[in-house]
C-alpha cells in the first residue's frame, strides 16, 4: 500500500510516499529555518503561512520523485498533533481534500508516534517490548511500549524540552537557530569533562527530566569566567553541556529498559541526530546486551515519511479518520 504522508506540525513542511510502512519511495522537505532564524525561535503565524505556500508544490515533487501519479496514492496520513495549531490545520485541510478527491482512506496521526516509527522505515519493527526515548524541540518523553502502538508514558520533562535546551544554550553561545546541530559540531572540538555541569534529576528515582537548571548553570559559568577575565572555550562549554544532557538521558533510558524488561530501545526526535547521544547510547546498549534502534540523522528531524509509516500501521489495523477530525495541539501519545 502506497501511503502519502504529510507533516506540518512545526517549521518543516514534509511530504513523503512510503510503501507498506517501511519502503520510502520519496521524502521531501522544505525547512523554514531561514524564516524563523532572525526571531531566534519559531513564529507560529509565519510557519502557517509558509506551509500554505510550500505544501502544494512539495506534493508534486514528492509524487514525481516516487514516479507516481495522483491515482497511485492509496491512502493519506497526516499529523494531527501535537504541534502549532495553525500549522497543523494546513496539513490536515490539504490531506482531507486529497483523500476526498481521490476517494482513499484518511488517517490523522500523532507526531510523537511518527518519531518512534521513523525507526521502522529502514529496518522494520523489532520484537516488543520496547522503551522509547523521544527528544525533540518540543518534547522529552520516555515511553514503555509493551507491544506496537501501545504507549505507557513513564516520564517527561518538567520544564524545557531537550531540543529547546540545546537551542537556548546555542543561542546564548552565539551559534544561530536552531542551534542543536551547530552545538553538536562544535562540541566535537571540545572536552566533555572541562566543566562538570549539574545532572538534574539523575538520581530522582523517577523518569522525569529537568533541563532549565542546566541552561542557567551554563549562563552562570560563562558570566563568572567573563568576570574573572578568563577566556571561555566555547567548544568546551558545548561539549560539557552536551555531556550533561546525554548522561541523564542514558541513565533514565537504561533504568527504564531494565525495570520494564525491555529488549529493545528506540530513539526518536530531532535531538537523536546528536552524534554524542548516538555514540554513547550505542556503547551503553551494547554493554547491556540491548538492541538499540535510531533513525538516520535526516529521519530523526521532522519529515513526512515517519507520518506515512505510522499511518500505514494504523490503516492495516482498520483505523480510519473521519473528515471532521480536528487539529489537536496537545495530543497525548496513546
Shortest Å, Cβ 183 to ligand KG4 = 6
Pick the stretch among 99-107, 162-170, 211-219, 282-290 that binds ligand KG4 (CB under 6 A).
Answer: 162-170
Q: Is 249 in the site for ligand KG4 (CB under 6 A)?
A: no
27 versus 136: smaller Cβ distance to ligand KG4: 136
Closest Cα to residue 5, out of 46, 58, 54?
58
137 versus 311: smaller Cβ distance to ligand KG4: 137
Task: Candidates 8, 13, 110, 301: give the one binding ligand KG4 (CB under 6 A).
Answer: 301
Shortest Å, Cβ 271 to ligand KG4 = 4
Shortest Å, Cβ 82 to ligand KG4 = 9
Shortest Å, Cβ 302 to ligand KG4 = 4
Residues 164, 215: Cα–Cα separation, whole Å: 10
Q: What sign results for the dihedral spanned by CA atoms 192, 195, 199, 200?
A: negative
Site for ligand KG4 in 4-23 (CB under 6 A): 10
253 versus 303: smaller Cβ distance to Zn ion: 303
- What does the DSSP assignment read for 188-246? TTS-TTSS----TTTTSSSS-B--HHHHHHHHHHHHHHHHTT----HHHHHHHHHHHHH
Shortest Å, Cβ 245 to ligand KG4 = 8
Site for Zn ion in 283-302 (CB under 5 A): 302
The residue of the chain with the least Cβ separation from ligand KG4 equals 270
Closest Cα to residue 275, out of 302, 238, 309?
238
**Contacts made by residues 280-289, CB under 8 angstroms, sequence distance 24+:** 280/246, 280/250, 281/246, 281/249, 281/250, 281/253, 284/250, 284/254, 285/254, 288/254, 288/257, 288/258
What phi, psi does 193 have (nearest 5°)?
-100, 10
- The number of beta carbons lying within 10 Å of the beta carbon of residue 237 is 25
| Helix (H) or strand (E) segment spanning residue 114 | helix 111-117
Q: Between 24 and 63, how does the x/- string for binding to Zn ion read (CB under 5 A)?
A: ----------------------------------------
Task: Candidates 22, 79, 136, 309: give the one binding ligand KG4 (CB under 6 A).
Answer: 136
C-alpha cell at 279: 555514540
Gyration radius from the chain CA atoms: 20
Task: Candidates 130, 166, 241, 294: give the one binding ligand KG4 (CB under 6 A).
Answer: 166
- Residue keyed to cell 529537568: 210
Q: Is 163 in the site for ligand KG4 (CB under 6 A)?
A: yes
Q: Is 236 in the site for Zn ion (CB under 5 A)?
A: no
47 versus 154: smaller Cβ distance to ligand KG4: 47
**Interface residues toward ligand KG4, by CB under 6 A:** 10, 136-138, 163, 166-167, 178-181, 184, 269-271, 273-274, 301-302
Amino acid at each position: 500500500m502506497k501511503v502519502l504522508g504529510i507533516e506540518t506540525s512545526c517549521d518543516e513542511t514534509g511530504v513523503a510516499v512510503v510503501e507498506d510502512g517501511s519502503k520510502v519511495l520519496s521524502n521531501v522537505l522544505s525547512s523554514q529555518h531561514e524564516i524563523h532564524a532572525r526571531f531566534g525561535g519559531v513564529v507560529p503565524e509565519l510557519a502557517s503561512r509558509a506551509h500554505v505556500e510550500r505544501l502544494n508544490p512539495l506534493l508534486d515533487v514528492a509524487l514525481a520523485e516516487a514516479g507516481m501519479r495522483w491515482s497511485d496514492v492509496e491512502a493519506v496520513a497526516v499529523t494531527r498533533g501535537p504541534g502549532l495549531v495553525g500549522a497543523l490545520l494546513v496539513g490536515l485541510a490539504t490531506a482531507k481534500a486529497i483523500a476526498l478527491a481521490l476517494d482513499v482512506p484518511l488517517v490523522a496521526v500523532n507526531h510523537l508516534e511518527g518519531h518512534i516509527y521513523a525507526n521502522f522505515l529502514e529496518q522494520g519493527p523489532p520484537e516488543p517490548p520496547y522503551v522509547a526515548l523521544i527528544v525533540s524541540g518540543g518534547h522529552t518523553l520516555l515511553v514503555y511500549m509493551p507491544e506496537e502502538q501501545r504507549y505507557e508514558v513513564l516520564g517527561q520533562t518538567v520544564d524545557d524540552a531537550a531540543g529547546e535546551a540545546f537551542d537556548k544554550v546555542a543561542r546564548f553561545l552565539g551559534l544561530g537557530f536552531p542551534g542543536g546541530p551547530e552545538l553538536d559540531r562544535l562540541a566535537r572540538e571540545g572536552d566533555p569533562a572541562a566543566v562538570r555541569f549539574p545532572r538534574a534529576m539523575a538520581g530522582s528515582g523517577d523518569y522525569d527530566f529537568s533541563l532549565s537548571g542546566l541552561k542557567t548553570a551554563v549562563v552562570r559559568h560563562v558570566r563568572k569566567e567573563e568576570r574573572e577575565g578568563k577566556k571561555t572555550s566555547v567548544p568546551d562549554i558545548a561539549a560539557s553541556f552536551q555531556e550533561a544532557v546525554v548522561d541523564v538521558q542514558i541513565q533514565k533510558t537504561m533504568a527504564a529498559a531494565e525495570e520494564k524488561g525491555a529488549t529493545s530501545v528506540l530513539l526518536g526526535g530531532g535531538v537523536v541526530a546528536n552524534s554524542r547521544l548516538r555514540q554513547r547510547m550505542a556503547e551503553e546498549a551494547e554493554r547491556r546486551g540491548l538492541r538499540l534502534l535510531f533513525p538516520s540523522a535526516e529521519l530523526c528531524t521532522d519529515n513526512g515519511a515517519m507520518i506515512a509509516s505510522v499511518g500505514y500501521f494504523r490503516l492495516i489495523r482498520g483505523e480510519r479518520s473521519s473528515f471532521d477530525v480536528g487539529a489537536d495541539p496537545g495530543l497525548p501519545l496513546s
